[in-house]
């Protein structure tokens, strides 16, 4: 398209030409440099145009601003909550790098951390939180667009071998004497395009479908070890052996609930000599009566509760541990009688059959354990239930937000990493004493308000008096210090209250007067006759 004469006459750099793009707008007329001349035999030299160096705008030459054309980078970002997550996950990143490509690892960690600090964030909003937090500084260049994350989640779900390799690295760190709690949770999933969504026993009542997610939790380390997705109609007992086998759990003492009986993993126990179990049995199990397990031998010491115990070795070399908690016994008796009163139905024979077993729990194990150890290990199984509580409430992961089979599996892999990070954050916050002063949610909300300059050095610890903090409250700074995220400033010793004693100045030339009244001197006169 021919460039108007008045445009061509505008003063511009030498050795340039003007081109008309034909599109309305301020940058319609581009100014290009003449970069070279191409000689063709028998023809006139053909000019070769180079890059655009400016535009004719409002009859003036406006050069291209290379700096303005690049994406603007923020000078400050939300720091505190991301820094806390980063402080507990360096080894997780290393384990992922041993299995996945570095680019994918950065995207995995970015998505997992954002699910920790900003629960319920949809994939379409991850990029926004990535750009406004130090996640973009700790994991630069991560692909976090909605399409990129969707493809990543599908990839993670498809590549089972890499997921297993990652979990295997974590399982290998479990010590043989550690206790591993295994339990499952149901998540709502009403998808019509995957085979994992199915009616569980609980979901059928609500007319919703679920998926089942089973976790293994290291009680000593207080963090999850591995996880696996199962269909919602797959009961715990049927998935038990598959979970042990697929994740190659070959050592430790499994502490499971009644839904995971040892009979379901008989082959796995026989083929894994370092794998053992500690599992409750039903109160109507005939072995309780046959072995006289209600003849208690004493009271457990070293625990706060009043618990009677009985330990006996039974046929097959296994051990039974019976515990009767007096407070739980009273509570169960009260519940039974209250219900009988409400229903106006009291069955005396049923009451007599149950009253001796109120508050009773009987454990079966292939290990000869001190009774207090067996009791404590089973009681600490609640820590895994707390993990599921944080999983569903604080991380808002009570339902799936993806559709396909592989997408569900891949998303749950990300959720596992998020849950692992959350457990470590909670453990760190407990040890620091922060959770004595505020809830987990309040702590994370406060920390997100701590902003920091992006040019702050990452190779040295942050200091509470450096110039890189942005509008951070003193109370939040104290929390950062307690969590080890900022080095506290040395504070001067508090001044002693009251006035300093006044020091009396005494002249060196003036003789010091003796204390008390001066002694009376009698002068005797000698009279001479």
Of 47, 69, 91, the residue that ends a domain is 69
Using DSSP, state whether 471 is helix, strand or coil: coil
Give the pair of three-digit tokens for residue 419: 């849950």
Number of alpha carbons in the 13 Å side-chain half-sphere of residue 93: 16
Determine, yes or no, domain membership for 391: no
Phi/psi at 421 (5° precision): -60, -45
| Location of structure tokens 């126990």 | 269
Determine, yes or no, domain membership for 202: yes
CA distance 407 to 158: 8
Q: Are residues 181 and 103 in the same domain?
A: yes
Cβ 292 vs Cβ 217: under 8 Å: no
Edge to edge, what strands does the sheet with 451-453 contain? 76-78, 451-453, 469-470
CA distance 118 to 126: 9
Edge to edge, what strands does the sheet with 16-20 contain? 16-20, 29-38, 46-57, 60-63
Q: Are residues 245 and 264 in the same domain?
A: no
Which residues are 451's β-sheet partners? 78, 470
Render pLDDT for 216-254 as a digit per residue (tens, 0 to 9).
999 999 899 999 998 877 766 778 999 999 999 999 999
Q: Are residues 155 and 64 in the same domain?
A: no
Q: Are residues 227 and 84 in the same domain?
A: yes
CA distance 306 to 328: 10
Cβ 99 vs Cβ 165: under 8 Å: yes
Its pTM stands at 0.77
Determine, yes or no, domain membership for 525: no
- Domain of 16 in residue numbering reads as 5-69
CA distance 449 to 391: 23
Q: Are residues 373 and 233 in the same domain?
A: no
Using DSSP, state whether 164 is helix, strand or coil: helix
Give the pair of three-digit tokens for residue 7: 């445009």
Q: Are residues 99 and 28 in the same domain?
A: no
Which residues are 14's β-sheet partners? none
- Residue 184's pLDDT is 83
Give the pair of three-digit tokens for residue 284: 């109507």
Residues with Cβ within 8 Å of 114's Cβ and at least 6 positions away in sequence, in order, are 121, 126, 129, 130, 133, 135
Q: Are residues 103 and 221 in the same domain?
A: yes
Residues with Cβ within 8 Å of 353's Cβ and at least 6 positions away in sequence, in order, are none
Cβ 415 vs Cβ 135: under 8 Å: no
- Residue 528's pLDDT is 47
Give the pair of three-digit tokens for residue 105: 């690892």
Determine, yes or no, domain membership for 518: no
Of 380, 409, 439, the residue that ends a domain is 380
Cβ 3 vs Cβ 18: under 8 Å: yes
Kindly list the averaged pLDDT for each block of 10 residues, start to end, along the chain of length 529: 88 90 87 78 76 90 73 89 96 96 96 93 94 96 95 95 95 91 78 54 60 90 92 76 93 90 91 94 93 95 92 94 94 90 85 89 95 91 74 54 78 94 93 93 95 93 93 94 92 68 58 64 53
- Residue 231's pLDDT is 85
Determine, yes or no, domain membership for 520: no
Render pLDDT for 484-520 as a digit per residue (tens, 0 to 9).
999 998 776 766 666 666 665 555 555 566 666 666 6
CA distance 196 to 402: 12
Q: Are residues 407 and 373 in the same domain?
A: no
Determine, yes or no, domain membership for 479: yes
DSSP character at residue 498: S
Closest of 136, 148, 223 to residue 180, by C-alpha: 223
Count the Cβ atoms, other than its own, within 10 Å of residue 151: 14
Tally the residues of the chain.
529
Cβ 423 vs Cβ 234: under 8 Å: no
The CA radius of gyration of the chain, in Å to the nearest whole number, is 38
Q: Are residues 21 and 137 in the same domain?
A: no
- Residue 189's pLDDT is 63
Give the pair of three-digit tokens for residue 117: 């600090």
Q: Are residues 95 and 207 in the same domain?
A: yes
Determine, yes or no, domain membership for 526: no
Of 380, 410, 432, the residue that ends a domain is 380
Longest dimension (CA), the chain: 167
Give the pair of three-digit tokens for residue 59: 């009859």
Determine, yes or no, domain membership for 307: yes
Q: Are residues 90 and 233 in the same domain?
A: yes
CA distance 117 to 110: 11
Q: Are residues 269 and 418 in the same domain?
A: no
CA distance 320 to 308: 14
- Residue 311's pLDDT is 97
Closest of 65, 54, 66 to residue 26, by C-alpha: 54
Residues with Cβ within 8 Å of 71's Cβ and at least 6 positions away in sequence, in order, are none
Provide the number of structural domains found in the chain. Answer: 3
């Amino acid at each position: 398209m021919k460039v108007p004469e008045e445009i061509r006459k505008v003063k511009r750099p030498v050795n340039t030409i003007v081109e008309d793009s034909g599109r309305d707008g301020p940058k319609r007329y581009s100014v290009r440099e003449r970069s070279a001349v191409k000689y063709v035999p028998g023809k006139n030299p053909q000019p070769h145009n180079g890059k655009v160096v400016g535009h004719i705008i409002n009859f003036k030459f406006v050069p291209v601003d290379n700096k303005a054309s690049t994406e603007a980078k923020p000078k400050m970002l939300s720091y505190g909550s991301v820094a806390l997550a980063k402080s507990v996950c360096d080894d997780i990143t290393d384990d992922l790098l041993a299995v996945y490509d570095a680019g994918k690892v950065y995207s995995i960690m970015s998505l997992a951390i954002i699910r920790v600090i900003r629960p319920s964030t949809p994939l379409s909003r991850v990029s926004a939180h990535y750009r406004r937090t130090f996640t973009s500084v700790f994991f630069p260049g991560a692909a976090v667009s909605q399409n990129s994350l969707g493809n990543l989640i599908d990839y993670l779900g498809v590549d089972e071998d890499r997921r297993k390799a990652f979990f295997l690295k974590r399982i290998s760190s479990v010590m043989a004497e550690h206790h591993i709690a295994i339990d499952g949770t149901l998540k709502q999933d009403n998808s019509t395009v995957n085979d994992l969504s199915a009616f569980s026993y609980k979901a059928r009542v609500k007319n919703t479908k679920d998926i089942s997610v089973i976790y293994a939790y290291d009680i000593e380390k207080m963090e999850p070890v591995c996880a696996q997705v199962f269909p919602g109609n797959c009961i715990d007992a049927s998935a038990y052996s598959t979970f042990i086998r697929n994740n190659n759990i070959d050592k430790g003492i499994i502490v499971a609930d009644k839904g995971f009986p040892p009979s379901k993993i008989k082959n796995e126990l026989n083929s894994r000599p370092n794998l053992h179990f500690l599992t409750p049995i039903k109160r109507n199990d005939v072995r309780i009566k046959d072995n006289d397990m209600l003849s208690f031998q004493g009271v457990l010491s070293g625990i706060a509760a009043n618990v009677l115990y009985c330990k006996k070795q039974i046929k097959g070399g296994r051990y039974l541990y019976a515990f009767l908690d007096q407070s739980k016994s009273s509570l169960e008796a009260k519940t039974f009688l209250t219900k009988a009163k409400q229903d106006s139905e009291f069955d005396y024979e049923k009451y007599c059959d149950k009253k001796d077993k109120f508050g009773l729990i009987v454990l079966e194990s292939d290990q000869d354990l001190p009774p207090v150890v067996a009791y404590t290990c089973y009681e600490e199984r609640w820590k895994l239930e707390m993990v599921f509580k944080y999983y569903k409430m604080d991380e808002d992961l009570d339902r799936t937000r993806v559709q396909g089979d592989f997408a569900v599996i891949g998303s749950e892999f990300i959720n596992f990493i998020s849950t692992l990070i959350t457990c470590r954050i909670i453990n760190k916050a407990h040890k620091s004493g922060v959770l004595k002063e505020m809830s987990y949610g309040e702590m994370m909300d406060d920390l997100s308000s701590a902003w920091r300059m992006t040019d702050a050095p990452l190779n040295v610890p942050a200091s509470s008096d450096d110039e890189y903090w942005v509008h951070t409250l003193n109370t939040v700074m104290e929390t950062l210090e307690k969590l080890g995220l900022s080095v506290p400033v040395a504070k001067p010793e508090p001044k002693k209250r009251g006035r300093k004693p006044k020091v009396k100045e005494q002249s060196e030339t003036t003789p010091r007067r003796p204390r008390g009244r001066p002694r009376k001197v009698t002068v005797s006169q000698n009279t001479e006759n």
